[in-house]
Chains A and B, each alone.
Chain A
């Protein structure tokens, strides 16, 4: 079964600094990979997704992620963080053609310092 690890529970960055959130997955075949963002007390908003093709995917709000099969990683990046990016970020993996069983990581909480 697929699984997701987000090694960093909490990250603090200064506003304007670059950001990278790590995600490692375990899955035997080609995974479908997702990043979601959740503000306190809210549902999850899809930032970006990878199904196939170009391994560098662009998302909303200036985020991008790169799929690296050799490292089983799908790290999320943003070149310049804004205060409004403070939230919880979840990486998720699903199975191609059977995405009902999507597995989420435990999340990384991002704090942005002024």
Chain B
């Protein structure tokens, strides 16, 4: 399967702990996006990368959040000192502007985080 993959699928942690999520985009896609989705809402944009460069961050991305895409392939999203309000589904998507289907983002299955 060549879709977007995310690991882990579920994470339960205690408040104050750090967590890290991984996203592997579709292999030829050079753009990678992170979103957060809370219950009953649509996804909210967090940040995106073009290759290894992080080009935009949402104001939702507090100082406790950091994302990397060191080699322009997979990406990690780390949340430090987790809070209960961080409980959500974290979605990753990828796209490749320049293809005929350029502006469509393809999503992974998400990582559901529960902070106790």
Please tell me if the beta carbons of B43 and A99 are within 8 angstroms of each other in the complex: no
Known contacts A46-B106, A49-B103; decide if A106 and B55 are in contact (CB<8 Å): no
Whether B31 sits at the interface, judged by CB under 8 Å, is yes
Please tell me if the beta carbons of B103 and A96 are within 8 angstroms of each other in the complex: yes
Complex Cα–Cα for A46 and B107 (A): 8
Interface secondary structure of B, over-half rule: strand
Complex Cα–Cα for A110 and B45 (A): 24
Binding site for A on B (CB under 8 A): 4, 6, 31, 33, 40-45, 48, 55-56, 91, 93, 95, 97, 101, 103-110, 112
Please tell me if the beta carbons of A49 and B104 are within 8 angstroms of each other in the complex: yes
Complex Cα–Cα for A104 and B41 (A): 9
Closest chain-B Cβ to A87's Cβ sits at a distance in Å of 14
Please tell me if the beta carbons of A107 and B112 are within 8 angstroms of each other in the complex: no
